[in-house]
Amino acid sequence: MTKRQAVVIFLIALAVRLAYHQLVPAFDGSYDNGSDTGKYIWRAVSILEHGEVVRVIDGEPNPDFGRMPVYPAFVAAIFWLARGESLAAVTAVQAVANALTVLALGLIAAALNRRWFAPAALLACVWPAFVVYAAWVLSDSLFVDLFTWGLCACVWASRSRHWRLLLVGAGLAFGLALLTRPVLMFFPYLLVPILAYLLVANRGTRWLTALGHALVPVAIMVALLSPRLIATYAAYGSPVVTTQSGNHALELVYPCLRNDADCDRASIESKAHELVAAGIADLTEAERRNPVIVDGVRRRVALQLLSEVPPLIFALAVADSAVRSVVQTMLYEVGDQLKQDPKFFSTVQGSTTGEKIANFMAVVFTEPFMFIWAVAQFAVLLALPVQFVGLFAGLRDPAQRSIVIFLVLTAGYFLAINLSFGNPKYGLPLNPAEIVLLVAGGHTILDWLRRRRLLRRAAM
């Protein structure tokens, strides 16, 4: 990568993101994603008014730990600079940050093959998930930016003479990503062994030494998280990462709703509410005012309900979620944001499956937006076998194998942690590995075709 290449690719990425950024108001759309955006806005305003995130209850400010601190602080800083609650300003800054992340993806690909920097970076320039989520006031875009730079630092720590500095950089990036979204709270358990493997495979480091080096990013992550744990302990008597895990865990009882015809959604929700209400009723008044304790009640109820989901149904739900996270496009999100009223297959009428498919295809060919969606969905399905080719080629190449395994296992972490959540939003952290594998697969196929032509010419 030359400086000129980096600047040109960054400008292309930024231009694409800003172009989409301007499409939103042009279509009378919004950068506001609904209730999730609202949760960050009021916390940002609270920071500006109180210097921290607090909920005022009965006139008393109570520290709030319902969301991780980095994104509310990020939004608050932009509101302060913009001198108002400008969602357009927030998403414009996110466009710049994500354009820089395009370079990280190019660098990850270049660690496998230096010629792959430009193809991977250019592909990331127009990757729909990156472009679209940079235009929502949500934590996902900033989280993926930080996480991707962490991956990049780890990969190059196994190749560069500046490996110590890169390991520190990885810890800072992953630590800030964890403080943006709590989904990384279990990531250190995976990071230590796979990063140690990466260092052993590419630097020839001994395993015990490599494990010690792999603990450096984790130690930095813990150090960055420590003030949060101290604050929750000081405020509510227990050091926790977040008080949102209970509500999120309750949503994980829904695997049965997609795969089990006998599952009654209304009764599941009613049972969950009854169990939570009963658990809270057993608390003292002081305990009910403690969000950490209340969240613990919700978490226990969620674990109880999860244990009641039949194992086969649960496994099918996780598999279904993984497939949907990998193959779904962002176009439905675009349709919602740009007020295009996209049609879902589940909403199409039909007495039989065949009739529903026919009616849905009629919608696809008569509505311009749905036709664009269909083309994009076909492209995603076409890319999948190419990514598998890249995976198999990388596993066969000793020089690339360790990095490919590292990327695939980090992507697998999110497939496992997401459980029944299968949509482009929760599949966003998979995109770095998907882009690199797509470039690797495309290169392998093109190389095979070139060799076939040479063989044919030799035969003539």
Instruction: Name the token pair of 101.
Output: 């992340």
CA-based nearest residue to 371, from 330, 336, 337, 343: 343
Task: Name 33's Cβ contacts closer than 8 Å, sequence gap at least 6.
Answer: 136, 137, 138
Least confident among 1-10, 241-250, 404-413: 241-250
In Å, how far are 10, 11, 15, 113, 268 from 4, measured between CA atoms? Answer: 10, 11, 16, 19, 57
Q: Which helix (H) or strand (E) holds 62?
A: strand 60-63
pLDDT of 333: 82
What is the percent of the chain with per-residue pLDDT over 70, rounded to a whole number?
95
Average pLDDT over residues 54-68: 85
CB-based contacts of 285-290 (< 8 A; 24+ apart in sequence): 289/57, 289/62, 290/236, 290/237
> What is the torsion angle, in degrees rounded to the nearest 10, for the CA atoms of residue 422, residue 428, residue 431 and residue 433?
-80
> What is the torsion angle, in degrees rounded to the nearest 10, for the CA atoms of residue 223, residue 228, residue 230 and residue 235?
180
pLDDT band (50, 70, 90) for residue 387: very high
Q: With 80 as the cut, is the pLDDT of residue 454 above it?
A: no
Can you tell me the distance from the alpha carbon of 403 to that of 394, in angstroms, rounded to the nearest whole number? 8
Higher per-residue confidence, 422 vs 292: 292
Instruction: Name the token pair of 260.
Output: 């089990």
Q: With 60 as the cut, is the pLDDT of residue 435 above it?
A: yes
State whether residue 159 is helix, strand or coil: coil
Average pLDDT over residues 107-128: 94
Average pLDDT over residues 199-220: 95
pLDDT band (50, 70, 90) for residue 417: confident
Higher per-residue confidence, 221 vs 376: 221
Can you tell me the distance from the alpha carbon of 271 to that of 251, in angstroms, rounded to the nearest whole number? 13
**304-346 residue pLDDT tens:** 888 888 888 888 888 877 888 888 777 788 888 888 888 877 7
pTM of the model: 0.91
> What is the torsion angle, in degrees rounded to the nearest 10, for the CA atoms of residue 18, residue 22, residue 24 and residue 26?
-160
Q: Which helix (H) or strand (E) holds 120?
A: helix 117-125
